[in-house]
A and B are shown apart, each in its own frame.
Chain A
């Protein structure tokens, strides 16, 4: 399997004008160009009025949930 770095992308879409912008999926790609191609060709179930892909690492976290379980190997 290739060693090229795989970036996590999130996909947001809006079905019709006035609808909420919602996350409909996520996938991995090596660059923005490939992410756009994947999004257009995989998520073609609707004629979306808007579609955005964003690298997951671009999300700015303000609050995240506490872990439910101890991590393995952590004392």
Chain B
């Protein structure tokens, strides 16, 4: 299979890797001044893991291109990271971005793992446990922000809605990609967008508790 054949899979891989690369950077830059010591220390540890995931996925993408993946030096993202994540400038935006990306990426990775194509040798199985930790961390913090005081809950909802626009657009292209479906990389009718919206809506409906 040539790079041209695999172009949508390479695009998918680089989108995931770019977002993890950016989130790893933001987890350090913003996470270092998190609201609690525990959240800060965990954010720094998670940054290392996100950057590690992105390296593995970049290597895989380069292998798909026919290049020697292990010899390619990663200096910057390839430009496919969600713009909202690149612009993260505070804790609220960081948590919203981390949660939205991890929900979407988790769905895509699991869809590919469950797909029947055994030739693509993806690295996703190795990172599911750590990614789930990041998802739990960001989900609990989302709930805290939704139940916080003043303008924080509203600001958080706005941040989440904005990043979800890009997330949903990306998931639409993935679930309708004819190459990914025809090559059994993902199953037809995977309904990634619906699943993602269901998860996020559950957070917004259940996570926000009315202030007594």
Contacts and interface: CB of A to CB of B under 8 A. Distances in A.
B45 A4 contact: no
8 closest A-B pairs by CB = A41-B45, A41-B42, A34-B140, A2-B148, A42-B41, A38-B38, A4-B144, A27-B38
A4 B148 CA distance: 7
A51 interface: no
Q: Kindly name the residue among A27, A40, A41, A44 whose own CB sees the greatest number of chain B CB atoms within 10 A.
A: A41
Contact of B140 (A1, A33, A42): A33
Contacts of B144: 2, 4, 30
Interface residues of A, number: 17
B148 A44 contact: no
Contact of A37 (B36, B136, B143, B147): B136
B6 interface: no
Given A1-B35, A28-B36, A37 B133 contact: yes
Given A4-B144, A41-B133, A28 B38 contact: yes
Contacts, number: 48
A2 B35 contact: yes
10 contacts: A1-B35, A2-B145, A2-B148, A2-B149, A4-B147, A28-B36, A34-B136, A37-B42, A41-B45, A41-B46
B42 A30 contact: no
B137 interface: yes
Contacts of A29: 38
Given A2-B145, A2-B147, A30 B140 contact: yes
A46 interface: no
B136 A33 contact: yes
Q: Kindly name the residue among A1, A4, A29 whose own CB sees the greatest number of chain B CB atoms within 10 A.
A: A4
Given A2-B149, A28-B36, A33-B136, 8 more contacts: A2-B148, A3-B147, A3-B149, A4-B148, A27-B38, A38-B38, A41-B42, A42-B38
Nearest to B45: A41
A34 B133 CA distance: 9
Interface string B141-174: 0011101110010000000000000000000000
Nearest to A44: B45
Interface in B54-69: none
Nearest to A40: B133
A41 B134 CA distance: 10
A21 interface: no
A49 interface: no
Interface string A38-58: 101110100000000000000
